[in-house]
Amino acid sequence: MNVMDAKIISTQYGLETYLDVVKSVDVRELQYPTETEPFFEITVGIEYFLLKEERYYDSRKNYFRIRMDSDFGSVTLVETKTESLFAVKNAGEKDATKKLVGEWLIKTQAFKQVINELIVQKKMEDVQTEGDIQAVLGTIRFLEKLLEIEAEDIVGTIVEGKPEFVH
């Protein structure tokens, strides 16, 4: 790890310091398109240090989703219901966080390694039906597309709010 590969965002709560290390990137969920949810989606967690006044710091991990439609034509960032990377941030801080994801995270070795490991896992899955085969192949294509995302794809997108609970 090179300290020069770190990224810092100033927020109203302190300085969020992100490091390019594999253990700081976590994938919590991977979704394949269905009839009710017609998109690919991955939930990514990023660990960071929050540096506060009086030199106090703590480690946190927050999450967000990257969503692509089934033809990989559009990218959207989505807040998670809990532990959202975008939660409790003002508009400027949300823009800085979006730039963090688009201009830094997707280019880090940590992110690329985590996605490549997922691709290897998917290729080794034991699938039994034609539907499972298509789901795995589609998911592999989605993961490969994640490795090709450009900064503009992320920075230029909207951040959708937290999904509402359906009663």
> Which pair of tokens denotes residue 144?
């490969």
Most distant CA pair in the chain, distance: 59
Encode pLDDT of 96-145 as tens digits.
999 999 999 999 999 999 999 999 999 999 888 888 898 999 999 999 99
CA angle 148, 152, 153 (to 5 degrees): 55
Closest residue by Cα to residue 44 from 19, 26, 17: 26
Q: Over range 4-13, report the average pLDDT.
A: 87
pLDDT at residue 3 is higher than 60: no
**Helices and strands per DSSP (H, E), number in the chain:** 4, 7
pLDDT at residue 68 is higher than 80: yes
What is residue 21's predicted lDDT score, i.e. its pLDDT? Answer: 92
Q: For residues 73 and 68, give the distance between their C-alpha atoms in angstroms, rounded to a whole number.
A: 7
What are the two backbone dihedrals, phi and then psi, of residue 73, each rounded to the nearest 5 degrees? -85, -20
At residue 94 the predicted structure's pLDDT band, cuts being 50, 70 and 90, is very high
Closest residue by Cα to residue 111 from 4, 1, 28, 26: 26
CA 107 vs CA 39, 116, 128, 136: distances in Å: 23, 13, 35, 25
